[in-house]
Amino acid sequence: MSKHDELPVEHDDALISFLHKAIKVAIRILAVLMVAVIFWGVADVVYVFYQQLIQPPFMLLMLSDIFKTFAAFLAVLIAIEIFQNIVLYLRTDVIPLKLVIATALMAVARKIIIIDFDEVIPMHVFAVGFVVLALGITYYLLGRKSD
């Protein structure tokens, strides 16, 4: 990926140059905060898993417990994907569309895994299916473009 030339750090206008540098600092702060969220999420996964194991029946997981654990795992993986988006943006000044779409697909997959089909209306399921289809086609087309 190449850098965008629309807003170089060194700009003729000192204010624009300063603002661009300030945005870079803000993005770095977001990266640090995302790492904190990832570690907090890992701790949450451990806590959720522990809580599920100590509840009666001891050391046995029910199907709903497994889904709660999967949801916690996937939330951390989505945070890691977002961190990768931030880092890639910092390195290239280009929004990594394919990675953003992959992150969105993972977020929707998490939703599908934890969805309670007894409590959702069929239109919601169709809407989620349409979103998955749209994201999948977009990801495929972005992949073909880079080949």
| pLDDT per residue as tens digits for the range 15-54 | 888 888 888 899 899 999 999 999 999 998 898 888 888 8
Q: Name the pTM for this structure.
A: 0.73
Inform me whether the pLDDT recorded for 3 exceeds 60. Answer: no
Please answer whether residues 3 and 94 qualify as being in contact, where contact means their C-beta atoms are separated by less than 8 angstroms: yes
Domain residue spans in the chain? Answer: 14-146
Who has greater pLDDT, 82 or 48?
82
Cβ-based neighbours of 120, under 8 Å, separated by 6 or more = none
